[in-house]
Structure 1
Amino acid sequence: MRTSQSSSRFRRIPAALAVGATAAVMLAATATPALAVGPVAIDDSTGFTGGGDVINVTSSAQFGTGTNGVTFSSGATCPATYTTSGTNLVAASVVHTDASNLVVTVPATVVAPVAYKVCVYLGTTVASSALVNSPNTAPVYTVSPAAPVLSTTGGITGGGNSITATLTNFLTVPTAPAAVFSVAACPTTYGTPTSNLAATVTKTSVTVGTLTVPAGVVMPNTYNVCIYTGNTAAATLIADSSADYTPTPPTAVLSPTSGLTGGGNSITVTSTSNYLNGVSSPGVAFSVATCPSTFTASPANLVGTATRLSDTVASVVVPAGVVSASPGPAYNVCVYNGSDDGVSTLVGTSAAAYTATVPTVALSTNVGVTATSTPITVSSTNNFLNGVSAAAATLSAPACTSTYSIAAPGTYAATTTKIANNKAVVTVPTSVVSASPGPAYNVCIYSSNSGPLIASSGNVKYSVGSAITIGVVSPAGGPALGGNKISIAGTGLPTTPGSISATIGGYPLVVTPVSATEFTAIVPAHEASGPLPIKVVTPSGTFYSSGTYTYSNGVVIAPNTTSNTAAPIYVDVQGVGFAGINFTTTTGTTSTDTNGHVYLVSGAYDPTDTAGKKATPPIAECTNVLVINDTELICTVDAGDSLSTAGAAVTTPVPDGTYTMTVVSDGRMDVQTGGANADVTFTKTVVSSGSTFTVADY
């Protein structure tokens, strides 16, 4: 069967033939003697519904010199004289080349499947022009169904979409054509087709028809599109697409498109097509390849559980065999109209692939000492050990492999003990080694010592280093303001920048490695406290210094001198902890209340009650305190006024002399500063030797 009408079958008529044709017309008026009846042949005996084919008709000089009539007759024999009625179809054109050859164009009215006799006459006078060829042995021209071009050649299973069938002049039938989709060869007549496989054809022109694909066109079949002259049982076949139409599964959207390795989570599979129409118990399988056309029950760990929620939505529980890898595989989600192995057909497939991800576990510690067996706890918010009875783990310098393996260099097997579905203990073996700089190891958890990867430490790596010691701190103390440099001794210290971090009292130090036996650090500001050890963290673990460091209650002031005859001056005071003190009543008139104050004291301030007076009371108050931040404040010193021993403001000038500036959080008498009865809310700041304040004339 032809699939198209070849242009090569249309022959160009030479100009000389046109002249011959004109001569034939001139000679038609002149009577010609009857020629002998004899055999006639054609060079092409087949064609398509709709005609248009060009054939050569030849004889032994029987066609004379005039006009010839040619008809295509579906009757038993050619009529004896030229006729255009009944079963005789007049050729579209006849060109008389010579007495032995005619170029004939097949009429558009020929239809399939009919065998036509080609009848040649000596003229075109109805009922008069005589038949040239033998009536019983006329050449036969057989018309086959046309082979139109389909657009498109596929669509979603279950039909509903429109396609076009296109071929020159194949829809010349006067009645409305009809179509049937058939997995078998097209029947020669319309007959009684299955209702859900029949379709109407809308003629756009004699060349183009539009069909709506019926609902019975489903996977995994391929269909012939059969077009008939009408929808009656006897209507004849005029076009056959020759198995050109293939239904495809509708695409569906997954939500979500990923989940944890090992499955167990639920996803929805949603399509704009009613892909589950009539499907009560869908089957589902996950496949790294293209979805098979029928349900496959093997491997079982890739078969999910599907629940139909509507014609367009199914809920699917992801099976255990859906696992991650490096790089991770992408799974097609394949939905079937049942779960009969090798029988149930594909009705939908995911538009986007589903991927499995490995949960990240937290490590109780990510550092250890070389050649030391170290247990670490791995835990997650996900139940990554659900259903796992014999988990296995590796410490791997390369990336975690998709399945358990210790073949790669830098990979070590680690003993694993399951504690709960979301927690296990991994014991780092003594064989794990360090280098300079030390390698970082991925902690990889597997379902068994031959199973898939089920969890990893992600971006957090485990490191090991040589055992170290941390010794004394020098100097062993300094002011609360910080900023001074200290030196910490030790052994086995790493020297790579960034390999050591340290804190004191929870505050970070700025560390600089010096050698394997020393590093230096800049001390941060800290409230008065101590003695405090230095906490040191290295790739080998966390260590504490054997020596300690103490913060003293020192402040730094500027300026540090005035005259009792001079105008009041502003004093800048730097220390630690000022932001937590209430300085709202520093007017010089309430120096003994519960709020904070800045005093000038002759010697070491002592608020102990001695016969109704402080043992060492302030001489004067620095008033109008303004806190800049936690480490700085400003206040006003007026040496022309002072305080009585009871703390009352007096106009007596402060005697010349050297004083210490003391910041307190509570100005009351008898507030304890030490011992068992110490008031924990009290803070007294004692000046250092460089922070004395002098009143004198200059």
Structure 2
Amino acid sequence: MTSVVLTTAAVVAVAEPAWADPLPLTLNVSVGPSGARGTLVGTVAATSAPFPVGTTPTVQFQYIGGNNTACSATARPVTQIAISGITTTAGALTVDPATVRRIGTNKIAFDLPTSAYPATDSNGDPSTVNYDGLVLLGDQSVAKWSVCVYDTDSTVASTLLAAGTYTLAQKPVITSIVPAASAAGGGQSITVNGTGLGSATTTTTASIDGVPLTNLQVAANGSSFTAVTGPHAAGTNLDLVVTAPGGKVSSLDPDNNGLPEDNDNSTADTPIPFSYSNGITISPNTSALGTTVDVDIVGAGFSQLSFDPNGDPYDANAHVFLVNGKYDAATNRGVAECGAVSVVNDTELICTLDLSLYALDPATSLPASPNGPIAEGAYILTIVANGGPGVGVGAAPTMVSSSATFTVASY
């Protein structure tokens, strides 16, 4: 494949007459990162037939800038990229002919060039970094390229058949995530700051450890977006991945340079991990003294739990306890168990809490003495993976959150 050489050497720009009436070429994707792999499909009006049987068109990317505002009348020589300030004054890159395919008389497909075309740093200079034999692009500038389709590759006798535009998008970078944490049930609104994150008119998606963010709203200047987290089991050091027009970026490599942490002495190179806590939300979160109530619990990771079917609070299966304070497997196991657990899905379960009688002794899980209804007060509904006693397996609760407070009241 022909590659483009980035250089600061001056290139003499020769004004070329633009073709008068090229057919408009509509691309299936009109914006993307430099050097991206992928296939573009270009279509002209169905009433036109610029790509007859037996022909293989030549496709060129020609930079729009300086004196180059449209496709030239004939194919251009592949040229170096000349940088003057931040303006590219010349440049043409021919698509590998082996990847150009005629789909019909009005439709072609071709692979994106994988050479840089071009990338510049914040000073407008060509920017590459050598690392273990790999050439990595520096900061990308937003730039437009004409996509020019000719009948041959001749630079003196070819004919311009169709023309479209392709925009080189800025490589996305993450500078901060606020907050960088969510409860397991999701629903946390977060703001991701950075550059090249898209715009209101482009498509940007994001996920945390594969779980999509929802309600994603990108700022007009592409410097931030807001979104809402989805449910995810508790975990730390998770990556938030953004897919923007300029490519992908992970919060574990937030400056998007592919280098190990702090290898380039950049503070932006420090990973920004995301975490999910063992949080649950419950509805309702209060009930009258001496009643029985069905409780809807929202969190994550429920499908991995096997709940006690026999009502034995010491059973080694999972349990839902009503705890006065912080759960402790040996000394503070709860005053009641929410029984008849039905797991709706991985993020929701329903159980029945009987507050009317047989309160448990939190130290022994045996009926309290004297026994009676659960006393008034604020408790914490806690899910544990293993109800066995002691400080070994099951001593720590699977999920606990102060937001899961359940109040027994006298009304």
Correspondence for 2:220 among 515, 537, 547:
515
Matched position secondary structure for 1:618: coil
Q: Is 1:636 the equivalent of 2:368?
A: no
Amino acid at match of 1:492: G
**Cα pair distance change 1:512/1:523, threshold 3 Å:** same
1:575 CA displacement = 2.0
**Cα pair distance change 1:429/1:628, threshold 3 Å:** closer
Correspondence for 1:685 among 399, 407, 411:
399
- State the distance in 2 between where 1:649 and 1:627 align: 27
1:636 CA displacement = 2.1
1:637 CA displacement = 2.0
1:562-581 CA distance string (max 9 Å, x none): 455x2322222222222332
Q: What are the equivalent positions in structure 2 for 1:524-673 lying under 5 Å apart?
A: 524-545=230-251, 546=254, 547-562=272-287, 566-585=290-309, 587-588=310-311, 590-607=312-329, 614-639=330-355, 640-644=357-361, 645-649=363-367, 652-653=371-372, 654-670=374-390
Amino acid at match of 1:430: Y
The answer for unaligned runs of 5 or more in structure 2 is: 1-30, 45-49, 62-70, 73-91, 100-110, 121-139, 155-164, 255-271
Q: What are the equivalent positions in structure 2 for 1:427-466 lying under 5 Å apart?
A: 427-431=114-118, 464-466=168-170
Check whether the contact 1:414–1:428 (CA below 8 A) recurs between aligned residues. no
Amino acid at match of 1:643: L
Amino acid at match of 2:246: S
1:469-508 CA distance string (max 9 Å, x none): 2121112223222223211111233214442111111011
**Cα pair distance change 1:669/1:440, threshold 3 Å:** farther
Q: What are the equivalent positions in structure 2 for 1:76-475 lying under 5 Å apart?
A: 367-369=32-34, 374=35, 376=37, 402-403=55-56, 405-406=58-59, 409=71, 412-414=93-95, 427-431=114-118, 464-475=168-179
1:396 CA displacement = 8.8
1:164-215 CA distance string (max 9 Å, x none): xxxxxxxxxxxxxxxxxxxxxxxxxxxxxxxxxxxxxxxxxxxxxxxxxxxx
- State the distance in 1 between where 2:144 and 2:320 align: 53
**Cα pair distance change 1:687/1:431, threshold 3 Å:** closer
Check whether the contact 1:622–1:635 (CA below 8 A) recurs between aligned residues. yes
Amino acid at match of 1:694: T
Matched position secondary structure for 1:515: coil
1:567-623 CA distance string (max 9 Å, x none): 3222222222223322251x53x112122211011222132xxxxxx1432222111
The answer for unaligned runs of 5 or more in structure 1 is: 1-365, 379-394, 419-423, 451-460, 608-613
- State the distance in 2 between where 1:577 and 1:442 align: 53
TM-score when normalising by structure 2: 0.56
Matched position secondary structure for 2:380: strand
Matched position secondary structure for 2:326: strand
**Cα pair distance change 1:407/1:663, threshold 3 Å:** closer
1:38-64 CA distance string (max 9 Å, x none): xxxxxxxxxxxxxxxxxxxxxxxxxxx
Check whether the contact 1:412–1:432 (CA below 8 A) recurs between aligned residues. no
- State the distance in 2 between where 1:476 and 1:687 align: 18
Q: Is 1:499 the equivalent of 2:224?
A: no
- State the distance in 2 between where 1:504 and 1:442 align: 39
Amino acid at match of 2:380: T
Amino acid at match of 1:514: A
- State the distance in 1 between where 2:142 and 2:284 align: 52
**Cα pair distance change 1:412/1:626, threshold 3 Å:** same
- State the distance in 2 between where 1:440 and 1:581 align: 57
Matched length:
279
TM-score when normalising by structure 1: 0.35
Amino acid at match of 1:543: V
**Cα pair distance change 1:441/1:618, threshold 3 Å:** farther
| Aligned match of 1:356 | none
- State the distance in 2 between where 1:625 and 1:632 align: 11
Amino acid at match of 1:412: L
- State the distance in 1 between where 2:387 and 2:166 align: 53
| Aligned match of 2:26 | none
- State the distance in 2 between where 1:531 and 1:440 align: 42
**Cα pair distance change 1:465/1:660, threshold 3 Å:** same
**Cα pair distance change 1:435/1:375, threshold 3 Å:** closer
| Aligned match of 1:695 | 408
Check whether the contact 2:96–2:113 (CA below 8 A) recurs between aligned residues. yes
- State the distance in 1 between where 2:392 and 2:146 align: 53
Check whether the contact 2:325–2:380 (CA below 8 A) recurs between aligned residues. yes
Amino acid at match of 1:605: Y
- State the distance in 2 between where 1:521 and 1:407 align: 39
- State the distance in 1 between where 2:193 and 2:143 align: 21
- State the distance in 1 between where 2:153 and 2:283 align: 71
Over the matched positions of the two proteins, sequence identity in percent amounts to 31
Matched position secondary structure for 1:494: coil
Larger radius of gyration: 1
- State the distance in 2 between where 1:495 and 1:377 align: 22
Matched position secondary structure for 1:499: coil
Q: Is 1:483 the equivalent of 2:196?
A: no
Amino acid at match of 1:403: T
- State the distance in 2 between where 1:551 and 1:603 align: 22
- State the distance in 2 between where 1:617 and 1:442 align: 73
Check whether the contact 1:397–1:439 (CA below 8 A) recurs between aligned residues. no
1:635-655 CA distance string (max 9 Å, x none): 222232122323334572334
1:357-391 CA distance string (max 9 Å, x none): xxxxxxxxx9533xxxx37499xxxxxxxxxxxxx
Check whether the contact 2:95–2:112 (CA below 8 A) recurs between aligned residues. no
* RMSD of aligned Cα (Å): 4.3
1:669 CA displacement = 2.4
Check whether the contact 1:504–1:535 (CA below 8 A) recurs between aligned residues. yes
